Structure 1
Amino acid sequence: MNKLRGIDLNLLVVLDALLAERHVSRAAVRLNMSQPAVSHALSRLRHLFNDPLLIRRGGQLLPSAKALEIAPSLSEALRQVRELVEPGGFDPVRERRTFRLAMSDYGSAVVLPGLVKLLRLQAPGIDLAVTQSSREAMLRLVLDGECDLALGVFPDLPERLDAEQLFLEHFVCLSDREAMRGEDRLDMQAYLSRPHVLVALKDEANTEIDRALQAVGHARRVAVTLPHWGNAPRLIYGTDLLLTVASRSLAFYEHDPALVTFEPPYSISPFPFVQVWHERRAADPGHLWLRKAVASVSRPAA
C-alpha cells in the first residue's frame, strides 16, 4: 500500500497511451499533453518499473518484454477506473482525438462517406487520417501501432489481431451497353474474348477473380491494370473493355443507361469485408465506439 501511495497514477495513463501509440508525439496528442511532458513521464515510468518499457529501434518505439506482459492488465485496470470515475462512459460529443485508418479506395468509397457523416453529427471533435497500402502493409501498420483500424479483405490474420466482418461482398461485371450488342449478359466464350480491366496493387495481381478463372481452366487477357477502384468504371465508357469488380464499388454507376452490369459467367466466391484491430486496443472505449460506428455505416441496405 505504501508503494502505491507513492505512484502518480497519471503515469499509468501515459504508459497506456504510449503502448497503444508507440510514438511519443501521437501519445501526446491523444493525451492533450506536450511532447516533453510525455517524454518526462516515460523517463519516470522507466525508473518506476526498472525497465526501458519502450525501446527505440528503426525509427519507432517497440515495447519491451515487460511492457508486453503488463499491457493487457494495465488497459483493463484503467478501463475499470474510468467506469468508476466516469459513469457516463465514453462521450463522443466531447472527445478530441484522431483515429488512423488504413483502407483501399474501395473501402473509402463504401465506408468513408457514411462514417464521416456520422462523425460530423455525433463526434465533431474526432478526426480521421486515412492511408492506403497493400493488404500485408495495412496489417503491419496495425501490428506496429501505426493504424487504429484496417478495413479490407484479409484471408489470414497474424496473431494478436482481431477482426469483425462488416459485410459479405460479391462480384459483378460492367460493360459499355453498345459493346454488349443487345445482350444483357455474356457467356464464358464471349467473356474471355473481351479485353479486361484489372484493379490490383502490384503485389496483389493474382486476384480472387483470376484464381476463380484458373480453377475452371481459363485465363483472361488484362488490357489495363490500375490500383484504383474509383477510376476503373470510367474506362468502360465507349470501349469494349470489361470490368469484373466488387458490386458495392459500382453503386454510383448502376443506373447509368450507358452501362450494363451482369453476373460473371463463372462462380467467384463472395468475400468478407472486415475491420481489423490490435488486441491491445480492444478495451479502449473510444476505439470500441469507432468500431461500432464503422459497423453501423457498413450494414447492407435493408
Structure 2
Amino acid sequence: MSDDGTGAAGSGLDRLASVNLNLLVPLLALLEERSVTRAAERVGLTQPAMSHALGRMRRLLGDDLLVRQGNAVTLTPRAMELIAPLRATLRHAAEVVAFPGFDPATDRRVITVAMTTSTAFVLGGRLGRLVAERAPNATLRIRTITVPAESTFTEHGVDAVLISEGFASPYPRERLYDDRIVVVASAGAPPEASALDLLTTQPHVVVDTERRPFPYSVLDEKGIRYRVGRLVSDFLLVPYLVGRAGGVALLRHRVAAEMRDLVGLRIEEFPFPLPGLGIDLVWNPHLGDRHFVEWLRLLLFDAARP
C-alpha cells in the first residue's frame, strides 16, 4: 500500500498481468502498415503469426481494428486513436530497457518519406542511392501525396513529409531546399525568342485544375496575353509534352533541370519577380528515435543538394 492509500490495483496496472505486452509491437506495425504481410516483414514474424496476433488484439480490444473495403484496408476509429499512444508507449519502453541507438549498417526498418510526385522526381533517385549506400539492409518507401492532410503526418508509418512552403502544416518545419519557377520550352523553340516572347507566342501546357496554377496570376496582373494549348492532369506530363510536342510551360526549376536532358528542354528565367517556392521537411511528431531522426535528416539534406 502506498502512502496515499492506493496500491497497484488502484492504478489499474495490475490488470496488465493478464495482457501479453509482446502484442503491442506487431499491433503498431499492423496499424501503420495496414497490411498483415508488410507488418510481418517489418517485425520479423511469419504471416500466420501476425494474423494470429491481430486476432488476439481484436478479441482483447473488442474492435475489428483493420477492415477491408473493396481492395483497400482501412482503420476503424478505435484503431486510429491507438496509433499515437502506442508509439509513445513503445518509445518509452525502448528508453527503459536502453536499446542500442539506430545503427544504419544493420538496421532493417522501412524508411518512409511522403512527398509529391514532382519532389520524388527530383529527390527519389539520389535518396534511393544514399539509403542503399548508408543503410544497406533498410527499405526505402516513397509515399506520394498531392495535398497533405493532417493525417498525412501521423498515419501509414510515415517518418517525414516533404511539402511545398505554400502548404500548411500543424507541426514544425524546416527548409530542405529552395526552388523557383522558370519558363520551359522545347529545344526547337525559336532561339532568338526571350522568355516573355515564348510566353506570349507559344501555346501553354498547363495542369488541369479548377484554379489556374501559380504564377499565372502574375501574368494576368501584368496584362500578359497567353493561350492555353494543352491541359493535363499529371504534373510531370507537363515538361514531357513540352519537350516532345512543343509549347511552353511554367515549372519548378529543379524539376525542369532533371527533365532537361530526358526530353530536350530549354529553360529560361521567369521575366517578372516572384517569391520563392521552397520544399520543407516536416517530421512525424510521434517519431521518438533521436538517433534515427538525426541520421535521416542528414541523408535528406544530402539528397537535396543540387
Confirm or deny that 1:273 pairs with 2:253.
Answer: no
Decide which of 60, 66, 69 is 2:73's aligned counterpart: 60
What residue ranges of structure 1 are gaps of 5+ in the alignment? none
Change (3 A) 1:118 1:158: closer
Decide which of 210, 213, 225 is 2:216's aligned counterpart: 210
Confirm or deny that 1:192 pairs with 2:200.
Answer: yes
Q: Which structure 2 residues correspond to residues 52-91 of structure 1 after superposition, within 5 A?
A: 52=63, 54-56=65-67, 58=69, 59-65=72-78, 67-91=79-103
Deviations 1:4-28 (A, max 9, x none): 3443221121222233223333222
Secondary structure of 2:155's match?
A: coil
Q: Which structure 2 residues correspond to residues 144-183 of structure 1 after superposition, within 5 A?
A: 145-146=155-156, 148=158, 150-153=161-164, 155-157=166-168, 164-175=174-185, 179-182=189-192
Deviation at 1:295? 2.8
Deviations 1:213-237 (A, max 9, x none): 2344445322234425377267447
Secondary structure of 2:226's match?
A: coil
Deviations 1:32-76 (A, max 9, x none): 21233223223333444x4317152634242444x5555433322
- Measured in 2, the distance between the counterparts of 1:76 and 1:31 equals 18
Change (3 A) 1:264 1:53: same
Which amino acid in the other structure matches residue 31 of structure 1? V
1:229 corresponds to:
236
Secondary structure of 2:215's match?
A: helix
Confirm or deny that 1:295 pairs with 2:300.
Answer: yes
RMSD: 3.9
Change (3 A) 1:94 1:178: closer
Confirm or deny that 1:19 pairs with 2:15.
Answer: no
Deviations 1:133-174 (A, max 9, x none): 5x13x6498368347255443744476x77553222101123
Which amino acid in the other structure matches residue 129 of structure 2? K
1:41 corresponds to:
53
Secondary structure of 1:251's match?
A: helix
- Measured in 2, the distance between the counterparts of 1:215 and 1:292 equals 40
Aligned pair count reads 289
Change (3 A) 1:43 1:229: closer
Secondary structure of 1:174's match?
A: strand
Confirm or deny that 1:114 pairs with 2:126.
Answer: yes
Confirm or deny that 1:3 pairs with 2:15.
Answer: yes
Deviation at 1:115? 1.0
Secondary structure of 1:111's match?
A: helix
Confirm or deny that 1:51 pairs with 2:62.
Answer: yes
Change (3 A) 1:75 1:143: closer
- Measured in 1, the distance between the counterparts of 2:105 and 2:237 equals 32
Deviations 1:90-121 (A, max 9, x none): 22222223345554443233211221121111
- Measured in 2, the distance between the counterparts of 1:229 and 1:204 equals 18
- Measured in 2, the distance between the counterparts of 1:203 and 1:154 equals 19
What residue ranges of structure 2 are gaps of 5+ in the alignment? 1-12
- Measured in 2, the distance between the counterparts of 1:124 and 1:167 equals 26
- Measured in 2, the distance between the counterparts of 1:204 and 1:108 equals 24
Task: Give TM-score scaled by structure 1 length.
Answer: 0.74
Q: Is the 8 A contact 1:168 1:272 kept in 2?
A: yes
1:127 corresponds to:
139
- Taking only the aligned residue pairs, the percentage that are identical comes to 25
